[in-house]
Each structure stands twice: as C-alpha cells, then as structure tokens.
Structure 1
C-alpha cells in the first residue's frame, strides 16, 4: 500500500467501523425491547417471576442460535450485505412485539419475541467485518470498538421506558422500526466491505463442521458464554432485579440498567486494546476474578444507591473487559478462512450464556426473603470454574492455525 493511499484507506476503515458499530447498537436496542418493559408487562398481565423470566429470555435464545448461521453467511456474502439483511429482517418483529404488548397478550409476546432475536445475530456479522478492515495487530482494538455497539442495550434500558411514557407503547416500537429502516438505507449507500475481503463460497454446513473441529472454537465458546452471557443476562434481567430488590420504578430501574450496560460497553474496547499489548489470557483471567468478586458482594444486597451502583458497575466493567479480551483471543487464534464460522459459534455460545441466567434467576428467586442468593452464587461458581480452566488449560502463547480443519 503506498503512502498516498494510506490516508484514504484509514478514513474508509474508520468510517466503516463506526457505521458497523452504529448498526450493532440499533439492532441491540431492538433485541432488548422487551427487557426494559418486563416489569410493566409483569404487572399489567399478573405474570409470575418464572413467566417474566421466559419473556425476557426468549429473544436471547434466537439471537444466540441464529449467530451460528449468520457467521458463515458473512464469510460468503460479506458484512455489508448481512448488516442490511439482519437490520431489515428485524423491522417486522419489532412492530409485532409492539402490537402484542399493546394487546396485553403474553403468548403473542413470547412468540414474536422469538423473531425479535433476529436482531441479536448482528454481532456475528461485525466481528469478521471488522477483522477484514484491520491488521492482526489492531484487531483487538477493532473488535473492541465494534463491540461498543452493545451500547444499544443501554440505550434501550434508558430510553425505551421513557419513550413509552412520552409517545405510547406501539409508537415507541414504530420509532425503532423507522430507525432500523434508515440504518439499512445508510448501509446501502455508505458501507463497503474491506478490499481484503474474499468471499468464501464453500457450503455453510461443511464450514460449520470444520470450525467445530477446531479446539479454539469450544475453548473460546466456554469463556465467551460466561462473560458475554453475564452481560446479556444482566442487561435484560436487571430491570426486574432492581425493581424486585430495591422497589424502583420501571424508568428508574431502566436508568440504572443503562449505567450497567454503558460501563460494560466502555470496558469492552479496553479489554481488546489490553489484549493487543499483553497475552489475552491474562486479560480474561482478570475479568473472571473480578466478576466472581463483584457477584459475591451482590449476594449481600448492598444498599442503594451508592453501594449497589458500585457493585454492579464493577461487575459490568469486568464483564466488558472479558468480552473484549475473549474476542481479541478469537481473532488471534482462529484461521483466517474460518473467522466467520468460528465467530458465529462463539457468539452463539455467548448468547446462550445469556439465555439461561434469567430463567435461573426467576426460578430460584426466594419470595419469602426477597433475594436471589442462589442465582448469584451460581454466577460466582461459574466465574471461578472459568478462571481455573483458563489458568490451567489454556496457553498464553499459542500458534495460530494456518488453515481450516476438514
């Protein structure tokens, strides 16, 4: 690359990464449309703790499983096409959830919530898209910045309850649907795939089978299920937790959940950049240690607002650093021809990691003592197991495979 073209490449690289981050943010907002309103739905429909948990967890499931397919499709069609496709496909589910909520139908909310999960698959598009635009030495930074699209969960937690108060329930969903449509148009006009992108036209299933044979896929899936799963679970369930434990309103619970999500979002690129400078293993170890400690403190229900905020924001920071660290590790270890496939499986594992905790939290809630001790204790145990696994089984320096396993 000549020095004359370097500034132009740098500008296009930055523009496309910024646009990809915005696409992720608006889709994450759409994916998280139910969580901030879950306490309102629970009150209006007289839902049990378990029913409310199912409502929150349903979009997470489809968002997780869909990434398995979306990742290798990105290898074939490129990030631009897939960003547009996922964004457009999310519009109808957003409107459908708005209709179901307006009608007060729990069954319809669950059914349409499944399709709302389409928006959550966007993450499996952005990681290979960012990887192609950046050199290996800066992919931790690139994936960390793209990961800041998780801010969509903070935006949803903060603004969705307020929009409902200002504009009404269905109109709020229309606003997000319009934002998705405008974003798709912006991608069509402005976004471009990296010149380094080469379409992989191999059949999807053989690519997935090949990725599944790589040890890195399952090692990183386990780690990501803990850190990203923890982030997704709390971003969706924290409004219910805060209202139940501290008796805040839906708007106030949403504001505090937004602070949690924003802290994790800001910490993600920090984790990625740290992993560019030191072995990602040590970044991930620090994340698990901090997550276990913060979750342990949360068991004792620190009083609002200062100490509870410190506890959960600290938890968010460690989870965010971990998400950045794990995906920097994926970019470093996965074969170049399999990045999308490996990313799809790892991202799916992260989403599945976020599916089960809300169900566990709802199912183990002690209504007599008003606490979530069992659920939080399980998070502590899981983080410690992941810490020991990373410390004892994974190497700080490991050669990157040169080709797919077939």
Structure 2
C-alpha cells in the first residue's frame, strides 16, 4: 500500500478525466468524506459533552462556553499545518494518520468524563479534540487537487458537507444516549466512536491514493499569504463557516441558558440546524458552479443579516418558536454560504492565472497551486470566527444573561461581509484581455 502514488494527474484534460481521472477522484472523495465526517464529530464532541455536565460537575455556563471555545481554537490553528501535510506526506497517507490520531482525544475524554475531574483537565482534553478540526483543511486541500475547476464547487461542497454532517450526527448520538440511558452516561457516546475511527482510517488506507504532482511548495504558501484575496476570502469565510461551527457548538448551551431547556430538550433541538446546514453545503457549491460564487455569497449574507434580525426580535419577545425559526435559517444559510465561498477560492486564482496570460493546463495548475495553499489559511481564519462567536456568547450571557448583544454583533458582521463581497467581486472585475476570461463575478 506504500506504493499508492499516482505520478500523472491532469483533471482539466477531458479525455484523461473521462477515461481514468473521474473514477479515481470520486473514490478518493467518498472515503475523504468518511474520514472528515468522523473528524468533525470529534471536534464538536464537547458541544455534546457539556450537555451531560449537570450541577455535580461544578461548571457554570460561562465555563462550558469556554470549553467549547478551547476546542474551536485548537481546531482553527491545526488547520494550517494540516493543509501543508498533504503535499509533504501525500493525501492518502495523511488521511490515514490523521484519522488514527482521533483516538487520542476520544479515549482521553472517555477516561476523564465524570464528576470530580478538575476543570483544567477538562480544558486539556477539550483542546485535544481540536485535531479533528484540522482534518477539514487537509481533506479539502487534497480533494481540490483531484477535481477539474468545472466540478470543484460540487466536489468541495460535497466533501465539506459530508464532513459537516459529523456535527449533527454526534449531537444525535448524545440525544439518543440522554433519552435512553440518561445524562449520567456520556461514555456510551465516546465508546461508539472508537471503532468508527478505526474503520475510517482503514478505509482511507485501502481505497485512497496520493497524487505525486501535489508537491510541497513553500513558495505557494508565501504567495498565498501575500495575496490580498486570501485574506478577503478569510473574512467572508468567518461569516459563513465561522457562523456554522460557532452556532453548532453553542446552540445547545444557548437553549439551556436563555430558554431554560433541560439537557434532553436542548439535545432534541440542537442537531436540526447543523444537519440542515451540512446537507445544503453541496447545493451552495452547485449553485456557485452555475451562477457564480460571488453572486450567491453576497445574496446569502444579506439573507443571514435578515435571519439574525429575526433572532434578535425573538430574544426580545422571548419566543422560542420564532427564535428556533430564525436560528435554523441561519444554519441553512451558513451552510449554503460555505459551499459558495469555497467555490470562489479556486475560481479567483484561476481567473488571476488567465489574467497573467496563462491558458489551459498551465492556468489550471497555477490555480490549484495557490488555491490549495490558500484554503488552509482561509479555513483556519474561518474556524477562528467560530471561536469569536463562542466568546461573544460567553461575554453576552455573562454580562446580560441573554445572547442578544452577541447577535447584534453578528448582524453587523454579515452586513460588512455583504458589502465586501459586492465591492471586491461584483462591483468591479479583473481587467479583460483580448481573449475571454473568467471575471471575479463568475468565480
């Protein structure tokens, strides 16, 4: 199995893609989804574990928000090295290794999850789950290299959406355990994931491939860091993915703290939003393939601002029904925007390659080189947006006992993101050369 390296890979060549490339790329995609799915479940583990932490644990709501924030932070930071690990070790090899490492935080949580454990210990174990967040970056970088530009929106959306589903699945597992065995048995959830981690790692070992042309290129990383589009897209990804992961981690605690729901009642509602947001992410990618990611993204941010207004109104009138309606809409829209923003990244760098005079496979290779490097940085900053949301909730509840102030800040963020998308990618486009090219409005 050590020899599973593909020496030649030209997905933009339609003959190569039809005769050989598509079959290999799709197989790698499905098993990448499996591994990333488990990674997301482990990363979001503490959004479930805190629901099991009753008064006997001695941890207040602010402390619980800080636990999930710790996991979010480590996951965001891990995304940068995980991005470049694909080129250093190979996509298949790194997927196998990163899947097996998920055993560490899962077994550790199984050991410490009981009353009497110190808060510091809980923080350390929550931090360990952050490595599950790193899996996303390596998986997306790997799959980006497999697919032609015309299918990247769909492929990246499916890969990420299948991974994102790991969040509601682990929350459903928590609901099942709380509803049947009771809130005193968190180890049942943890024990169920240990064999799943092993299966995901073995499937990656037997069914995935490494791409030799994806070579470690520190120059690409430097170019991506210096390109302003990397940081503009990072801000937009804070608005979409930062919202998705931040809300996913915090939703159950918000329901318990602001609306007085029991752990079982909170768990029975928590999974719905993340599930819908995950399932619709490929749709966002597909719409971006057809209509242009910038158009879909800007409209999405406008809708997110409107949905946040509904949530603020619901908080003011203390209506759980209206609150759930607005919050669920936020999840759906964040998932849609995740798909459209990630489609924009390779499209932007491909458009820049064409503007430089490159054509065909040369333009495609240049775009893959820079977009692969940029994705890790953008994903890391986006995940830090989730940390910001968790901390905003913590501060809002600590100061006022509600999340209203936090939601006002989120509304302002979506307004900024909508204006930024319009100003950079829709109001003006790249200079048009003699030959037709992709404009930024079409990426």
User: TM exceeds 0.5?
Assistant: yes
Q: Which residue of 2 aligns with 1:394?
A: 425
- After TM superposition, list the pairs within 5 Å mapping 1:286-297 onto structure 2: 286-297=299-310
Q: CA deviation at 1:153?
A: 0.3
Q: Which residue of 2 aligns with 1:12?
A: 24
Q: CA deviation at 1:8?
A: 5.6
Using the alignment, how far apart are the partners of 1:166 and 1:327 within structure 2? 40
1:337 aligns with 2:369: yes
1:60 aligns with 2:72: yes
**3-state SS of 1:300 partner:** helix
Instruction: Tell me, yes or no, if the aligned pair for 1:281 and 1:390 is still in contact at 8 Å.
Output: yes
Kindly tell me the number of residue pairs found equivalent between the two proteins.
396
Q: CA deviation at 1:55?
A: 0.6
Q: How has the CA–CA distance of structure 1 residues 300 and 40 changed in structure 2, closer, same or farther, with 3 Å as cutoff?
A: farther
Q: CA deviation at 1:4?
A: 10
Q: How has the CA–CA distance of structure 1 residues 42 and 53 changed in structure 2, closer, same or farther, with 3 Å as cutoff?
A: farther
The CA deviation string for residues 300-331 of structure 1, in whole angstroms up to 9 with x for no partner, is 22666653332222111111111111100012
RMSD: 2.4
Instruction: Tell me, yes or no, if the aligned pair for 1:16 and 1:192 is still in contact at 8 Å.
Output: yes
> Greater shift after overlay, 166-175 or 114-123?
166-175
Q: Which residue of 2 aligns with 1:312?
A: 327
Using the alignment, how far apart are the partners of 2:26 and 2:295 within structure 1? 28
> Greater shift after overlay, 123-132 or 145-154?
123-132
- After TM superposition, list the pairs within 5 Å mapping 1:40-189 onto structure 2: 40-41=52-53, 43-102=55-114, 104-148=117-161, 149-163=163-177, 166=181, 168-189=185-206
Instruction: Tell me, yes or no, if the aligned pair for 1:60 and 1:352 is still in contact at 8 Å.
Output: yes
- After TM superposition, list the pairs within 5 Å mapping 1:223-238 onto structure 2: 223-238=236-251
Using the alignment, how far apart are the partners of 1:115 and 1:3 within structure 2? 45
Q: Which residue of 2 aligns with 1:201?
A: 216
Q: Which residue of 2 aligns with 1:372?
A: 403
Q: CA deviation at 1:285?
A: 0.5
The CA deviation string for residues 240-297 of structure 1, in whole angstroms up to 9 with x for no partner, is 0112223222233223221100111122111111111112111111111111111111
Q: How has the CA–CA distance of structure 1 residues 29 and 5 changed in structure 2, closer, same or farther, with 3 Å as cutoff?
A: closer
Higher CA-based Rg: 2
Using the alignment, how far apart are the partners of 1:268 and 1:55 within structure 2? 27
Using the alignment, how far apart are the partners of 2:72 and 2:60 within structure 1? 19
1:326 aligns with 2:341: yes
Instruction: Tell me, yes or no, if the aligned pair for 1:33 and 1:156 is still in contact at 8 Å.
Output: yes
Using the alignment, how far apart are the partners of 2:320 and 2:392 within structure 1? 25
Q: 1:214 aligns with which of 199, 219, 227?
A: 227
Q: How has the CA–CA distance of structure 1 residues 12 and 306 changed in structure 2, closer, same or farther, with 3 Å as cutoff?
A: farther
Q: Which residue of 1 aligns with 2:6?
A: none
Instruction: Tell me, yes or no, if the aligned pair for 2:62 and 2:398 is still in contact at 8 Å.
Output: no
**3-state SS of 1:285 partner:** helix
Using the alignment, how far apart are the partners of 1:81 and 1:160 within structure 2? 31
> Greater shift after overlay, 164-173 or 134-143?
164-173
Stretches of structure 2 lacking an aligned partner (at least 5 in a row): 1-12, 350-366, 431-436
Q: How has the CA–CA distance of structure 1 residues 4 and 141 changed in structure 2, closer, same or farther, with 3 Å as cutoff?
A: closer
When the two structures are superposed, what TM-score results if normalisation uses the length of structure 1?
Answer: 0.90
Q: How has the CA–CA distance of structure 1 residues 51 and 400 changed in structure 2, closer, same or farther, with 3 Å as cutoff?
A: farther
Instruction: Tell me, yes or no, if the aligned pair for 1:72 and 1:207 is still in contact at 8 Å.
Output: no
Using the alignment, how far apart are the partners of 2:341 and 2:321 within structure 1? 30
**3-state SS of 2:313 partner:** coil
When the two structures are superposed, what TM-score results if normalisation uses the length of structure 2?
Answer: 0.83
Q: Which residue of 2 aligns with 1:404?
A: none
Using the alignment, how far apart are the partners of 2:17 and 2:243 within structure 1? 42
> Greater shift after overlay, 95-104 or 40-49?
40-49
